[in-house]
Amino acid sequence: MDIRPPDLRLSSDRGRWVVLTTVLGSGMAMLDSTVVNVALPRIGRDLDADLAALQWTVNAYMLTLAGLILLGGALGDRFGRRKVFVIGIVWFALASLLCGLAPNAGFLIAARALQGVGGALLTPGSLALIQASFHPDDRARAVGVWSGLGGVGAAVGPFLGGWLVDGPGWRWVFLLNVPLAALCVPVALKHVPESRDPRAHGRFDALGAGLAALALGLVTYALIAAPERGASAVVVGSVVAGVVLGAVFLYVEKRRPEPMMPLTIFASRQFTAINVVTLCVYAAFSGFFFLTALQLQVVVGYSALQAGTALLPTTVLMLFLSAKSGEVAQVIGPRIPLTVGPLLCAGGMLLMLRVGEGSSYVADVLPAMLVMGAGMVTLVAPLTATVLASVATGRAGLASGINNAAARAAGLIAVAALPLLAGMGPEAYRSAAEFGETFRRAMPMCAGLLGVGAVIAWLTVRVPGRECGEPECRVHCGVTSPPLEGAGG
Tens-place pLDDT, residues 222-240: 998 888 777 788 889 999 9
Nearest to 62 by CA among 217, 211, 205: 217
Tens-place pLDDT, residues 291-315: 999 999 999 999 988 998 898 888 8
What pLDDT, on a 0 to 100 scale, did the predictor assign at position 487? 34
What pLDDT, on a 0 to 100 scale, did the predictor assign at position 37? 85
DSSP 352: G
Alpha-carbon torsion 374, 379, 385, 389, what sign? positive
Segment 393-399 shows an average pLDDT of 69
Q: How sure is the predictor about 467, in pLDDT bands with cuts at 50, 70 and 90?
A: very low
With vertex at residue 164, the alpha carbon angle to CA 163 and CA 168, rounded to the nearest 5 degrees, is 120
Q: How sure is the predictor about 486, in pLDDT bands with cuts at 50, 70 and 90?
A: very low
Q: Of the segments 68-82, 103-117, 252-266, 379-393, which one has the largest average pLDDT value?
A: 103-117
What pLDDT, on a 0 to 100 scale, did the predictor assign at position 396? 65
Phi-psi map region of 204: left, alpha, beta (phi>0 left; psi -120 to 50 alpha): beta
The CA–CA distances, whole Å, from 151 to 26, 157, 274, 485 equal 11, 10, 23, 30
Q: What span, in angstroms and rounded, lies between the C-alpha atoms of 68 and 52?
A: 23
Q: How sure is the predictor about 4, in pLDDT bands with cuts at 50, 70 and 90?
A: low
Amino acid at 414: A
Cβ atoms within 10 Å of 199's Cβ, excluding its own = 9
What pLDDT, on a 0 to 100 scale, did the predictor assign at position 352? 95
